[in-house]
Amino acid sequence: MRRRRWPGKRFDLVGAVAIGWTVVEIRDVTAGDLDAVLDNRKRAFGPLPPSSVEQWREMVAPVLAEGRYLGVFDGDRLIATSRINDYEQWWHGRAVSMGGVASVTVAPEDRGRGVGRFLMQGTIERCAELGHVVSALYPATTPLYRSLGYEHAGARNRVTLRTEALRGLGAREGGVKLRRSVPDDAPELMGTLRRVYAATRACGPLGWDERSVRRRLSDEDDFGYLADDGFVLYRWQEGNIDVDNLVAGSETTARALWSLVGTASSIATTVTASVEPDDPMLWLLRERSYDTVDQTRWMFRIVDLASAVAGRGYPAGVEADTVVEVNDPQRPANSGAWRLSISGGAGTATATTAPAGQETSRLTIGGMSALFAGVQTSALRRAGLLTGGTPAADDLLGAAFAAKPYMIDYF
Ligand SMILES: CC(C)(COP(=O)(O)OP(=O)(O)OC[C@H]1O[C@@H](n2cnc3c(N)ncnc32)[C@H](O)[C@@H]1OP(=O)(O)O)[C@@H](O)C(=O)NCCC(=O)NCCS
């Protein structure tokens, strides 16, 4: 996977546009703008406690020079912001470069006149400049992002369980040895995640850079434990346990980590955990009849269609050779007819011309993005995101892109 840093690169001005009587322009936020960014942020999402303000400044300072914080300015006045987090996202066991869009804000007095859309157009272009082949975001509202090609794709699943149900999951003898994690374990933890995500053909979860992983392992209220093929990071939350992440590459490690969490059962009644939709733990539980799952939805967009298709993994047995027509008014390079060739777990998309006399499958960029993320063709068709084509082509596309995507992390 390509991961670009752009040290010292000057980005092209993304653009300027007339909105009402004023011309606003989009450009990089600099250190001198940070007080205004914070003010905008508070007006959009509510106040931040002083300790969080310091953490926020520490977090954003390094990303400014990387072209990852954009502002819309009316003269000198900052009226809107967005941040692009540098992630990798796993798709059927392969990681692609993903721009995670966060902190989208428009000043209250400037809302409702197209600034948000202008900001997001620039943000998508900047994702492309940064080499991100796909982008994702947690939407507070859908229409803005949908109008620019993002579509609902997956969820962050938070399951709540009785702590006692986890306590007994450990192996009776010969269990896995766990050790406490420290910030210097960041590279090892990242390697473990990569191995497990590749082997389990993970769809959707994020890979973080070392700086961020180190920061998360430094939080003294988080407790981390490592195994050779897994780890857990959890904390206390109002007398109960909150599992930020638990990844296990084998049954024995899953049992060891979940039962470690379960040892809190004398104090904590419940455990709430971010999990895969088919987390193996759910099959280890002795009893299961109702799942209590809270979902926060995320939206997804292909930024560079050919690179995204080539970067993703596919089920090994699926052989597909079919043409789709994609319409992406925002990024015309993605528009047109594409020959999708999937074979041996790898895929390519090659620009072609639609075959004459055949009913080609036609997708909006939102539809193509949702298909890429495993949304069923039957749903896409009935939602108007997929037209043309044939039932056989639908089946083939569905088999090639099959996925139940999730994310563990909120951003
Ligand atoms: C959401 C927000 C960024 C939108 O900015 P904006 O400048 O008002 O958006 P625009 O004027 O460009 O509107 C673009 C489209 O989104 C729609 N839209 C904007 N705000 C909306 C809302 N709160 N609910 C539903 N639709 C909304 C508009 O109707 C418009 O669609 P249309 O052309 O079909 O009518 C802004 O209201 C804001 O900062 N809100 C508080 C923070 C927030 O929620 N951020 C998003 C985090 S994911």
CA of 54 to the centre of ligand 1 (A): 28
Q: Is 104 in the pocket of ligand 1 (CB under 6 A)?
A: yes
122 in contact with ligand 1, CB cutoff 6 A: no
Choose the weakest-confidence range: 129-138, 168-177, 192-201, 308-317: 168-177
**Per-residue confidence band for 2, with pLDDT thresholds at 50, 70 and 90:** very low
Asked if residue 22 has pLDDT above 90, the reply is no
The C-alpha atoms of residue 35 and residue 56 are separated, in whole angstroms, by: 11
pLDDT digits (tens, 9 = 90+) for 358-368: 789 999 999 99
Q: 334 C-alpha to center of ligand 1: Å?
A: 25
Can you tell me the mean pLDDT for 308-334?
97
| pLDDT tens digits along 269-288 | 999 999 999 999 999 999 99
Atom of ligand 1 nearest to the CA of 106: 39
Whole-model pTM? 0.95
**What pLDDT score does 156 carry?**
98
- The CATH number, out of the four listed (3.10.20.30, 1.10.20.10, 3.40.50.2300, 3.40.630.30), of the domain defined by the range 157-296: 3.40.630.30
pLDDT tier, 221 (very low <50, low <70, confident <90, very high otherwise): very high
Pick the CATH number of 15-149 from 3.30.1370.60, 3.40.630.30, 3.40.50.920, 1.10.10.1400: 3.40.630.30
Provide CATH code, domain 304-400: 3.30.1050.10
CA of 136 to the centre of ligand 1 (A): 17
- The answer to whether the CB of 85 falls within 8 A of the CB of 410 is no
- Percentages helix, strand, coil for the chain (3-state, rounded to 5) are 35, 35, 35
Q: Which ligand 1 atom lies nearest to the CA of residue 80?
A: 39
For residue 20, name the pLDDT band (cuts at 50, 70, 90). confident
Domain with CATH 3.30.1050.10 in the chain: 304-400
Q: What's residue 14's pLDDT?
A: 63
The arithmetic mean of pLDDT across residues 252-261, rounded, is 96
Q: Say what the pLDDT of residue 356 is.
A: 83
Name the average pLDDT for the chain: 94
DSSP state of 365: H
Q: Among 106, 144, 300, which residue has the most ligand 1 atoms within 8 Å of its CB, making it the best to mutate?
A: 144
Tell me which H or E stretch contains 226. Answer: strand 223-227
pLDDT of residue 13: 52
Q: What is the pLDDT of residue 5?
A: 43
- What is the per-residue DSSP string for 321-360? EEEEEEE-SSSGGG-EEEEEEEETTEEEEEEE-PPTTS--
Residue 68: strand, helix, or coil: coil
pLDDT > 70 fraction of the chain, expressed in percent and rounded? 97
Segment 194-198 shows an average pLDDT of: 97
Is residue 173 predicted with pLDDT exceeding 80?
Answer: no
| CATH 3.40.630.30 intervals, the chain | 15-149, 157-296
How many whole angstroms from 112 Cα to the centroid of ligand 1? 7
Is the CB–ligand 1 distance for residue 114 below 6 Å? yes
